[in-house]
Chains A and B, each alone.
Chain A
């Protein structure tokens, strides 16, 4: 076991020791598993229409009823989890891969690079996230890729700011100064010395942004500008369900419930992680420079 793994394991164990965080993790894992195995464990498929069963109430055949085209709502909710999972992973990847280097460079060099990069990031923040995403989709058109990219871009500022703040506080620390004095190059300092020691707030941000991304994707679909049908999406199901509130009041319940539980679970996990990592740093006074290889 290398020195870089141990603190991560300790943190993970301390997060899971909390009952709420443990339940959240079990829920998320279970959902991911069901979403992954959907084709093998579900009898139907999310796109098969059967108009004879349109808007049928919950029954033995349709546990949560059928939608306006006679498709099984439960099946569509399960497949909708795949859509959410893909969006969350993709959006977090985009936001992190762009935001973290921006924060690193801005914090490391300071000066005009810092000013220019952070002002560019501020432009994204100049509008509420959902508006920014909608404006982007209005330009590039409506597709699964567009929704993913739009949601990802709105996540860039938080990664950039958090990384920048980490760099600013680490830059004056002895071990960074030591590497610098030994002639470490700028990229070595940024990516091999500073970044490995900045992972805890970034990790918290990853979990929180996953929740934001899933919520934003659902909101865009609900507004009719997200992932286009017939791809199952929880937001799209809520949008359609809203048109049948009188005929089929149960329609919108399940997709919304699963969406809410997912977001609550990610939020709980993210906040527990933040507390655990803060405590760990607080107990030793300062974060240990783990993963540090001179």
Chain B
């Protein structure tokens, strides 16, 4: 087991390092290079010299990367150009909002997706199955930004039940306020993942239903409910955990669009604001942060899966 974790790390580490190198090198590709990014393209020679010295840009490139990475590992991602606040602080401020939205969306996705998967796997190729597969196709095909707009039009503009823009309210501070703010964005994302969950779980359920142990269980007279509930569902849920984890990881990094629709103050909006104000340290910091979260959750999911399912070959 520990060997497996080490091997996975050996695969992930070079990729993460390469990606971090690319994120760091980004600033050199910007017009005007790192200095231009800091002081603008029309800076005076004095300004340029000052910035070059302050940032140590006269040192060898790899030394600069090493210094940047070393600081980043200690949580120092530099200062935002906009308001001179530490980038790490700005990022951490947004994390609770993004995590709360991600979890709510996953819950809604499971609530819709799991029953659909079970119903259609039990009646494969039936009319019901086709109808439910249609839902999955629709859920995956409708762009989240359009679904979000439609939900706003219906529930905020027409019915006036829910706010059209969502703010972050911590769930434990005021559950009702948190829910009314989260409902539309979480449903938007939840509908999307429900399609992924339903498709994936249906496929793995159908795979399990054809397994020999199911025939044995039926042959020895086990009621169908127990065959499904005790055997099939448990085995099919194992690989499913992976997908749920991966979706959570991608929401923490990539709920950009939904956050933009509802002007929700999460990490994604921070990044978009950073890009529109060309706040490069913040852009680099946010992307690096999301990269690390993404890689770590991926690793955790793999390890959890291997730990839960002893059949996984640690190879």
Contacts and interface: CB of A to CB of B under 8 A. Distances in A.
A159 B247 CA distance: 22
A252 B147 CA distance: 11
B16 interface: yes
A245 B149 contact: yes
A119 B14 contact: yes
B257 A127 contact: no
A268 B138 CA distance: 10
Given A131-B287, A138-B283, A126 B295 contact: yes
Nearest to B19: A126
B15 interface: yes
Interface string A110-154: 000000000110110011101100110111110000000000000
Contacts, number: 118
Contact of A128 (B31, B261, B294): B294
A246 interface: yes
Contacts of A123: 15, 18-19, 22
A112 B14 CA distance: 14
Interface residues of A, number: 42
A126 B294 contact: yes
A185 to B, nearest CB: 32
A130 B29 CA distance: 19
A88 interface: no
B137 A256 contact: no
Nearest to A137: B275
B91 interface: no
Contacts of B22: 123
Nearest to A256: B146
B272 interface: yes
Contacts of A273: none
A87 to B, nearest CB: 14
B253 to A, nearest CB: 5
Given A119-B15, A256-B149, A264-B138, A222 B257 contact: yes
A245 B250 contact: no
Contacts of B178: none
Contact of A252 (B146, B253, B271, B280): B146
A46 interface: no
Contacts of A72: none
B97 to A, nearest CB: 17
B68 to A, nearest CB: 16
B98 interface: no
Specify which of B31, B137, B143 lies most central, judged by the most chain A CB atoms within 10 Å of its CB: B143
**Would you call the interface of chain A mostly helix, strand, loop, or mixed?**
helix
Given A126-B295, A139-B30, A245-B164, A131 B149 contact: no
A130 B157 contact: no
B275 A225 contact: yes
Interface string A210-224: 010001001100111
Interface in B246-283: 250, 253-254, 256-257, 260-261, 271-272, 275-276, 278, 280, 283
B299 interface: no
Interface in B119-153: 137-138, 140-143, 145-146, 149-150, 152-153
Interface residues of B, number: 45
Interface in A243-293: 245-246, 249, 252-253, 256-257, 259-260, 263-264, 267-268, 271
Nearest to A214: B143
B23 interface: yes
Interface in B145-170: 145-146, 149-150, 152-153, 156-157, 164
Interface in A201-236: 211, 215, 218-219, 222-225, 235
Interface string B179-209: 0000000000000000000000000000000
B153 A245 contact: yes
Given A138-B283, A259-B146, A131 B257 contact: no
B61 interface: no
Specify which of A120, A140, A222 lies most central, judged by the most chain B CB atoms within 10 Å of its CB: A222
B207 to A, nearest CB: 15
Contacts of B140: 267
B9 interface: no
Would you list the 3 A-B pairs with minimal beta carbon distance, nearest first?
A256-B146, A128-B254, A264-B141
16 contacts: A126-B15, A127-B19, A127-B253, A127-B290, A127-B294, A128-B253, A128-B254, A131-B253, A139-B30, A223-B272, A224-B276, A225-B276, A253-B150, A256-B143, A263-B142, A267-B141
